[in-house]
Every structure is written in C-alpha cells, then in structure tokens.
Amino acid sequence: MIDALLSRAFRAFGIEGIKVSPRERSLLAGLAACGAVFGAITAMEWSDRVRLDAAQVRAERENFEFRAARRAPGLAEERLAAELEKARAMAFSATTVPIARAAAQAQLERMANQGGVVNVRVAPQGDPAGDGSVKTQVYALQGRFDWPSFLALMRSISDGPQSIGVLGVSVDAGPSPSFALRVRVPLVTDNPE
C-alpha cells in the first residue's frame, strides 16, 4: 500500500522508476505519524485558543450587559442568577468538593471507556485550586494509544456539556503505545470550603 502511495506521489512530481527500500518506507511512515501527531496537537491548541477567545468575547458582552442592567432595578439579580446556573451547568456540581471530584473522575472514565480507550486510568493531580464555591481540579488520564479511540475521547471532551480544558498531551510510541492527557475541570459546590 505504501509502495502504491509513493509511486503515485512520485508520478505526480514527474518522477518515474524510483524504488524505495524498506528502511526508507519506515522512515516515511514515521514522518507521516509525526505529522499526524503534530496536526492533532495543533488542532487542540487552535481549539483552545478559539475557546478562550470566545470566552473573552462572552465576558466582555456580559460585562457590558451587566453595566446596562445596573441601570434597571432587579434585572441585575436575575441576570446574575441566570449566569450562575450556566456556570453550574458547565461545571461538575455537588454539595462538597470530594463528591464533585468523584463525579468529574467518573465522567472522565466514562468518556474514555465510551471512546474505546483500553486500560484507562484517571487520577486527580494535587488539590483543587480556587476559593469559595468555585474551584478547578487537574486530572491525568492514561491509557493505551490508538488513533480512533484517542480521537473519540477528544471529541467527547470537546462536545460534552461540561467545560473540560486540555492542558497537555504526550504519546509514548514504544512497543506498547500509550498516551498521557492532562485536563482541568471546574468544580462548583454548595458549601464553600
């Protein structure tokens, strides 16, 4: 298959009759794999930049609307309550931090399992950061790497109702390929700690 692809590529550039050794084929396959990983990471970075830009635009719009609502009595409280409900919908919400952390971990495991990731392990990294009722928690996901399941997991993270931010990805392409993914999730609790 690789020979046919290389032959077509060479013919497209007007080069005929070049034979490619097995070593050169494996080098070209390695370059293609590196290009695919680079493309996936670039797409995730672009997605994060777009998400941050959208969040900044929303924040500016909400700030403008809040200043306009301050002029109308009672409207600001209604808007604030609506915004708090939106924040709760995008976060892992529970009565206490340990329950919210467990819910987030269970959801991440469910997303990985539904995507087909084999040998998935999800673990919190450190203590939650933040003050009051709103905190963030970093999780590390590890599992066996293959493109379809990894992309299904990433699609599940980006399409899910909760706001899950990808902090980093690493892939070990050894004899048993594996990946490590770090994500940050928001936690909202009823009782500030």
Pick the CATH number of 91-193 from 3.40.50.2000, 3.30.70.60, 3.40.50.10540, 2.40.128.50: 3.30.70.60
Domain boundaries, the chain: 91-193
> Do residues 179 and 169 lie in contact, with contact meaning Cβ atoms separated by under 8 Å?
yes
Whether the per-residue pLDDT at 88 is higher than 80: the answer is: no
Per residue in 24-39, pLDDT tens?
777 877 887 888 888 8
pTM of the complete model: 0.59
Q: What is the pLDDT of residue 70?
A: 67
Structure token pair of residue 14: 């007007």
What number is the average pLDDT over the span 76-88?
A: 75
